[in-house]
Amino acid sequence: MAGEESRAVLATLEASLALRVRVEGGRIVGLEIEGKRPLQAARVLEGRSVEAALAALPVMFRLCGTAQSVAGLQAVEAALECGPGPVGRAARSMLVTVEALEQSLWRILLDWPRCADGQPDAASLDHFRRKLRALQRGVFTDRRWNRLGGARVKADDGALRATIEGVDADIDEILFGGVRGAEVLASRPAFEAWIGDTRTATASALEWVYSNGLADFGGADVRLAGDFDTDYVSDRLAGDDNWAYCERPEHHGEVHQTGALARWSDAPLVRALHGEHGYGLVEALREHMLTLAPEEPNGATAITTGRGLGSVETARGRLFHWVEVREGTVARYRTLAPTEWNFHPDGPLAAGLVGAPAGDADTTRRAVDLLVTAIDPCVGVELELAEA
Amino acid sequence: MCVAIPSLVVELGDSTATVERFEERIVVSLLMLDEPVELGDYLIIQAGAYAVEKLEPEEAELSLALFREWLRMAGEDVRETELPGAAAELRGETRGR
């Protein structure tokens, strides 16, 4: 294959978002979002047995393979009216949480400092990743946990709890500088005092945001997704023959924001900061820290016999898989990722950026980069800033 | 959607590797891997810069086969690559084994 052809092939496979930000008179006046994402990759699952399709999911979507696997399992099990009991569901949910935690730590330890003129902390991320691997291995008895109907969960011998407590302690030490994260995140004065007093890479990134007057940068008034109406989403995915809904989803006619901010919108500190800064940059970043422990809902929805919807809360927001099964074979498969909500042309990034103040080019670029990181696409981003 | 293309290790440095996928080569850090890497291994790369996982050859080959199938569906003219054979050769195994 010639070099040019291979680049074209890679461009088809590799997902990315191209953002073109237009600045004029000290303000951002325009944003174009061009997505290059293999949205229809799940087409290769169609025509395969459900077992083969489920085995393919973590292989194709390796970087968030656990969430993708669980969403797929939920969808197929809902269609076939089978599935694990509460312990098996909780065990899967734990694996999703561990994966989400790793993704959030990646953002906080590497990407926040990179955007905010600081030093990425790859060594700490590596430390956490090793502990999280141990946690993953402690949940099921064998590594093929993604079996239809459920897999065997390890007996609780206390080791899992000890590992979780170790990760918690390390988060307090490495991210929060030796104080309890729960206390830092409990109130606005505690949070802002901590930023002023602490020299971890995380606190320094937030200090950069405040000191550059960017705390309310990019605030948007896009509806936060609380509980999705899964019947509505199922119906839309069932009728999405040309994948248009998967590319630009809506919920009862409105664009929603999904992810950390939506999950934590009722927390007292979130409300306090929202009153001061709107849902701007500092708020979006802080939510990411809260998402170090994403919670339910993760759940399957049976639609009619032969069709099912899987719904998993990942670090970046809600992931849906929808399937139609006929005689043990996948007839149709649709996936809807959180990035399609959050980077929708009318979504939170566009609503927050257009009209936002723009200072010097370097600070503006860093602020946009940080906001993109906070809203958190599941793909790489190419950012272009153009002064009119 | 965040698909992950297995990348073949074609050169090794101190804590880096040069990897190849669909004939594109990039240099990635091995800092995030907690297992040894050899020529011919398949790695998963995150953010275009870090190897985050080593795949079993069978998993990598299944993954590449799925991506080739999808590319054909998407209308790309994709030839069967020599990657599985090339990987075995890099690992010092007999080709076609």
Terminal-to-terminal C-alpha distance of chain B: 35
Among A64-68, A111-115, A218-222, B59-63, whose mean pLDDT is lowest?
Answer: A218-222
**Residue A170 pLDDT exceeds 90:** yes
Q: Do A10 and B32 touch (CB under 8 A)?
A: no
Q: Looking at the domain B7-77, which fold is it?
A: SH3 type barrels. (2.30.30)
Cβ pairs A/B, distance under 8 A: 107
In tens, the pLDDT along B18-52 reads 999 877 899 999 988 888 999 999 999 887 788 99
In tens, the pLDDT along A174-193 reads 999 999 988 998 888 999 99
Q: What number of H helices and E strands is found in chain B? A: 2, 5
Residues of A in contact with B55 (CB under 8 A): 62
Q: Which residue has the higher pLDDT, A126 or B48?
A: A126
A371, A218 contact by CB (below 8 A): yes
**Residue B59 pLDDT exceeds 70:** yes
DSSP string, A178-203: SS-HHHHTT-HHHHHHHHHH--SHHH
**Residue B88 pLDDT exceeds 60:** no
Calculate the average pLDDT of chain A: 87
Rounded-to-integer distance, Cα A180 and Cα A172, Å: 5
Q: Which residue has the higher pLDDT, B23 or B16?
A: B16
In this predicted structure, what is the pLDDT of residue B73? Answer: 83
In tens, the pLDDT along A26-58 reads 999 999 988 777 788 899 999 999 999 999 999
Measured CB to CB, residues of chain A less than 8 Å from chain B are 1, 3, 5-10, 12-15, 37-44, 56, 59-65, 106, 110, 122-123, 125-126, 129-130, 133, 335, 337, 339, 378-380
Residue B93 pLDDT class (50, 70, 90 cuts): low
Q: What number is the ipTM of this complex?
A: 0.79
In tens, the pLDDT along A261-315 reads 888 777 766 776 666 666 667 776 776 676 554 444 456 665 567 999 999 999 8
In this predicted structure, what is the pLDDT of residue A10? Answer: 66
In this predicted structure, what is the pLDDT of residue A16? Answer: 77
In this predicted structure, what is the pLDDT of residue A293? Answer: 47
Q: For residue A137, what are the CA distances in angstroms to A66, A98, A134, A144, A163?
A: 13, 11, 5, 11, 11
Residues of B in contact with A126 (CB under 8 A): 31-32, 34
Q: Do A61 and B4 touch (CB under 8 A)?
A: yes
E strands, chain A, are 16-24, 27-36, 223-224, 256-257, 299-304, 307-314, 317-326, 329-336, 380-387
Say whether residue B86 is in contact with chain A using an 8 A CB cutoff. Answer: no
Q: Which of A40, A42, A122 sits opposite B31 (nearest CB)?
A: A122
In this predicted structure, what is the pLDDT of residue A275? Answer: 66
In this predicted structure, what is the pLDDT of residue A267? Answer: 72
Residue with tokens 């793909």: A379
Residue A17 pLDDT class (50, 70, 90 cuts): confident
Among A132-136, A214-218, A299-303, B8-12, whose mean pLDDT is lowest?
Answer: A299-303
Alpha-helix runs per DSSP H in chain B:
57-73, 83-90
Name the residue ranges covered by the structural domains of chain B.
7-77
In this predicted structure, what is the pLDDT of residue A7? Answer: 60
Residues of B in contact with A38 (CB under 8 A): 1, 3, 70, 74
Average pLDDT over residues A69-89: 93
**Residue A327 pLDDT exceeds 50:** yes
In this predicted structure, what is the pLDDT of residue A277? Answer: 61
Residues of A in contact with B21 (CB under 8 A): 10
Q: B3, B7, B82: best mutation site toward chain A, by most A Cβ within 10 Å?
A: B3
Q: Do B46 and A106 touch (CB under 8 A)?
A: yes
Closest CA to A18 of A2, A43, A37, A1: A37
Chain B, nearest residue to A10 by Cα: B22
Q: Which of A3, A40, A56 sits opposite B23 (nearest CB)?
A: A3
In this predicted structure, what is the pLDDT of residue A235? Answer: 95
Residues of B in contact with A123 (CB under 8 A): 31
